[in-house]
Amino acid sequence: MHAKFAIAASLLASALIAGCQTSSKLEHEQRTAPTTYNSVTFTDYDLNRNFSGGIPGPHKVFRFTAEKHGIRRTPANTSEVFVVLRNHTDYNGILEARTQFFDQSEIPTDVEPRWQRVVVPANSTSVYLEKSTTTAQLKYRVEVRQAK
């Protein structure tokens, strides 16, 4: 009986260690990924986390995701960025998002990024919007974090 318990405990400890090493490697990859344009990035790692095996789940554990995002022209011919944020939890979430606009040479431009609160109801979606002030063609990068 003691031998079976020792073997089971050893297997569980090995799985935990392997799961921690995998999530640490993936966390490092997510945090050091190059900056991309026309994208949404979760700067608060606990909101959107990927795992491969281990205790957290079979492959992915998400609290919030960006279901859709893009940029469109407004009637005034400026740009408007939109992000559809989805809450995968059973409680309301309060996030903050901000947009950095870039010109075609990928130089930061336009409005100074400022954090805006977005309430995302439990098991539902909300839309974050940000408008530019220029009529130039722009690229964007949206950052999302837990509200402070």
CATH 2.60.40.3230 fits 2-146, yes or no: yes
Q: What is the pTM of this model?
A: 0.73
Task: Tell me the DSSP string of 108-141.
Answer: EESSPP--EEEEE-TT-EEEEEEE-S--S--EEE
- The domains of the chain are located at 2-146
pLDDT at 11: 47
pLDDT at 33: 73
pLDDT at 22: 47
Lookup: tokens for 37: 């344009």
**Contact (Cβ atoms closer than 8 angstroms) between residue 63 and residue 87:** yes
Residues of the chain with pLDDT under 50: 8-9, 11-22, 51-56
pLDDT at 2: 57
Tell me the CA distances in angstroms from 143 to 55, 73, 116, one per residue in order.
28, 21, 11
